[in-house]
């Protein structure tokens, strides 16, 4: 089994995270998939941004959900990273899905609803992914257990992953009971026991955020189904050598 390499927020070590330049670079590096984060604007448009607030990755200030899509599109989401990315915009989910549709890439969409539990986020994202005919190569992940439960009716159409950084002796079975069919864990939780538990429960296991070569190697050795990395080029090279 080949451990799939997902570019975490795109090739985010080399371009501003969750932007089209970062996604495009990950594609050029030949990553297997792309991971991104989705939130809702004031007018209900799904946009790709990690933080609930705008300050870290744009020249704006305030909460994402206090702005309309049109207002968010006036912000610069690239200069904070490097001057050459000046003028880069916050992408909509539609823009990204249209871009990825013709490329043989997997897609992991993290629903950023653990702090702000956006109403209808699951249904809105599912409908978008269905519209672009990408359900068969999309994973929906979330830290919010209630969101996993809300996604349960769709887990035969799309892979649903429970995201966690918390230790739990029965993590694999607990995730499955929620309705997940995959488990996405912080690297420090990875153990042979958890890997075996996921195998027993027939759940895919993926690990975040794996940038150090030794950590990449461990995930390959444990035959994890995927890793999320800011440096997809490094991870791909290490997989090839392995």
What is the 3-state secondary structure of 173-238?
Answer: HHHHHHCCCEEEEEHHHCCHHHHHHHHHCCCEEEEECCCCHHHHHHHHHCCCCEEEECCHHHHHHH
Question: pLDDT tens digits, the chain, 242 residues: what are they?
Answer: 799 999 999 999 999 999 999 999 999 999 999 999 999 999 999 999 999 999 999 999 999 999 999 999 999 999 999 999 999 999 999 999 999 999 999 999 999 999 999 999 999 999 999 999 999 999 999 999 999 999 999 999 999 999 999 999 999 999 999 999 999 999 999 999 999 999 999 999 999 999 999 999 999 999 999 999 999 999 999 999 99
Which two three-digit tokens encode residue 159?
A: 């892979």
Question: In sequence order, what are the residues at sequence separation of 6 or more whose Cβ sits closer than 8 angstroms to the Cβ of residue 113?
Answer: 121, 142, 144, 147
Is residue 8 flagged as an active site residue?
yes
CATH number at 210 reads 3.20.20.190
Q: How many distinct structural domains can be found in the chain?
A: 1
Range of the domain at 58: 4-241
Which two three-digit tokens encode residue 1?
A: 């089994």
Of residues 8, 184, 215, 225, which has the active-site annotation?
A: 8
Is residue 215 flagged as an active site residue?
no
Question: In sequence order, what are the residues at sequence separation of 6 or more whose Cβ sits closer than 8 angstroms to the Cβ of residue 171?
Answer: 164, 183, 185, 189, 194, 197
Q: Given 3-state DSSP classes, what are the helix, strand and coil percentages for the chain, each rounded to the nearest 5? A: 35, 20, 40
Of residues 50, 184, 215, 225, which has the active-site annotation?
A: 50
């Amino acid at each position: 089994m080949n451990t799939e390499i997902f570019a975490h927020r795109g090739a985010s070590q080399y371009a501003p995270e969750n932007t089209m330049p970062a996604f495009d670079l990950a594609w050029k590096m030949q990553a297997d998939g792309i991971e991104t984060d989705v939130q809702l604007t004031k007018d209900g448009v799904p946009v790709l941004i990690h933080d609930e607030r705008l300050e870290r990755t744009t020249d704006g200030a305030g909460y994402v959900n206090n702005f309309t899509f049109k207002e968010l599109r006036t912000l610069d989401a690239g200069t904070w990273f490097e001057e050459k990315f000046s003028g880069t915009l916050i992408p909509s989910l539609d823009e990204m899905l249209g871009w990825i549709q013709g490329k043989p890439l997997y897609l992991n969409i993290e629903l950023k609803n653990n702090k702000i539990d956006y109403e209808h986020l699951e249904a809105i994202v599912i409908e978008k992914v269905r519209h672009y005919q990408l359900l068969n190569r999309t994973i929906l992940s979330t830290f919010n257990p209630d969101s996993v439960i809300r996604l349960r009716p769709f887990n035969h159409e799309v892979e649903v992953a429970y995201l966690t950084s918390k230790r739990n002796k029965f993590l694999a079975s607990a995730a499955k009971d929620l309705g997940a069919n995959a488990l996405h864990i912080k690297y420090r939780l990875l153990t042979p026991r958890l890997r075996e538990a996921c195998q027993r429960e027939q759940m895919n296991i993926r690990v975040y955020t794996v940038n150090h070569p030794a950590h990449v190697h461990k995930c390959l050795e444990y035959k994890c189904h995927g890793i999320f990395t800011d440096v997809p080029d490094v991870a791909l090279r290490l997989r090839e050598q392995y």
